[in-house]
A = this chain, B = another copy of it.
Amino acid sequence: MAQFFPELKEDFKRLLKAAAGKKIAVAGHMRPDGDCISSQFALADILRECGAEEVVCLNQNPLPYLYEHFAYGSKLQSAAEFCDDSFEIVTVDCADYKRTNLELCSRFPSPLGCIDHHATNNTYAKINIIDTRASATAELIAGMAFDAGLKISKENANRLYMGIVMDTRQFTTSSVRTQTFEVATALVKSGADAAWVAVELYQRERFEKMKLLALYLQSMTMHFDGRVCVGVLPADAYTSTGAEKADSDGLVDYARAVNGVEIAVLLEALPNGVKGSLRGKGPQYMVNDLAAKFGGGGHMAAAGFTAEGYDLNTLYPKMLSLIEEHLLNLDKLNSKI
């Protein structure tokens, strides 16, 4: 049978061997996403089954509501409160060790292993297993486990499938390749229930988030012949809807989804500033350059900033004039090519 990650086979074996008989803490990055959570729980099970004496999962933040049904009874311990020095650390989905928890880093300065798919990973562990072609760390862990002939339980199949779905936004990102689907196929064969995972991820929305989305959609305005779409959340948006700060995640994607829109913006009024989220319809829009003008940053298609000392009335027009200039430069660049 074909292997998913043949180049990583020996390193993965080495990690399993190194963990055998030891106490292992699988740490993920702060504010864990679906890929991180699924990778933590699944790898913990795998290490346990391959002979680790004891395995715990650590995170600076608690298990997000969205992923609670993927725990299947497993616990996510607080990295800040973890105090057993007899453990060794293995990280997942962490490009930088600091993204787990600073105290953890100083107490366990030399992590045993690291499994990740981020291009920016700085290989900080004794055994680093990095593959930037993988759409998700979950794809990497699943693929290596299949390659090693390990049995994937139905629970871990659901978890790892969920990690891939979250990091590829339902198979829609440019990181999706043939192997992404091959690993997904193998996970479904192992018992992953695509429909159940989707209900968990996409049919457990907070009612208050829907009301916040309504406010954002209603405020959406087109600029520059429909190339730019901007929506705002005024300071009372949260109190009037009952929504939480985290409920604004993903709202800006609705502006980007509009036909013809090249750059999408969400501006949120803060007590002493404005938070901005920027999206480009592709990396060619380099919205990180725009975010940098307000001291922010991010990726070429997704970036953000927090601009202190502004309010919506002062930031909105400034943002528009910066975007106008940015589009002009992009147009020049494209006409030159």
Name A's B-contacting residues (CB within 8 A): 165, 169-174, 176-178, 181-182, 184-185, 188-189, 194-195, 198-199, 202-207, 210-211, 213-215, 217-218, 220, 222, 226, 229, 254, 256-259, 261, 281
Whether A181 pairs with B188 at a CB distance below 8 angstroms is yes
Partner of A202, one of B172, B198, B261: B172
Question: In whole Å, how far is A236's beta carbon from the nearest beta carbon of chain B?
Answer: 15
Contacts A/B (CB < 8 Å), 28 sampled:
A170-B170, A170-B172, A170-B198, A171-B171, A171-B198, A172-B195, A173-B195, A174-B195, A176-B188, A177-B188, A178-B188, A181-B184, A181-B188, A182-B185, A202-B257, A203-B257, A203-B259, A203-B281, A205-B258, A207-B226, A207-B229, A210-B257, A211-B217, A211-B218, A211-B220, A213-B217, A214-B217, A218-B218
- Residues of B contacting A214 with CB < 8 Å? 213-215, 217-218
Whether A172 pairs with B198 at a CB distance below 8 angstroms is yes
Whether B217 pairs with A210 at a CB distance below 8 angstroms is yes
Question: In whole Å, how far is A86's beta carbon from the nearest beta carbon of chain B?
Answer: 40
Q: How far is the CA of A261 from the CA of B171 in the complex (A)?
A: 26
Partner of A171, one of B170, B205, B215, B220: B170
- Residues of B contacting A199 with CB < 8 Å? 172, 281
Question: In whole Å, how far is A213's beta carbon from the nearest beta carbon of chain B?
Answer: 6
- Residues of B contacting A169 with CB < 8 Å? 198
Question: In whole Å, how far is A209's beta carbon from the nearest beta carbon of chain B?
Answer: 9
Q: How far is the CA of A202 from the CA of B170 in the complex (A)?
A: 11
Who on chain B is nearest to A231 by CB?
B210
Who on chain B is nearest to A194 by CB?
B176
Q: How far is the CA of A38 from the CA of B23 in the complex (A)?
A: 53
- Residues of B contacting A205 with CB < 8 Å? 254, 257-259
Given contacts A181-B188, A203-B259, A207-B222, 16 further A-B contacts (CB under 8 A): A170-B170, A172-B202, A173-B195, A174-B195, A176-B188, A199-B281, A204-B257, A204-B259, A205-B258, A205-B259, A207-B226, A210-B220, A211-B217, A213-B217, A214-B214, A217-B217
Q: How far is the CA of A258 from the CA of B254 in the complex (A)?
A: 17
Q: How far is the CA of A94 from the CA of B254 in the complex (A)?
A: 33
Whether B207 pairs with A220 at a CB distance below 8 angstroms is yes
Q: How far is the CA of A206 from the CA of B185 in the complex (A)?
A: 34
**Counting chain B CB atoms within 10 Å of each CB, which of A185, A206, A222 scores highest?**
A185
- Residues of B contacting A185 with CB < 8 Å? 178, 181-182, 185
Q: How far is the CA of A178 from the CA of B188 in the complex (A)?
A: 6
Whether A194 pairs with B217 at a CB distance below 8 angstroms is no
Who on chain B is nearest to A177 by CB?
B188
Question: In whole Å, how far is A329's beta carbon from the nearest beta carbon of chain B?
Answer: 23
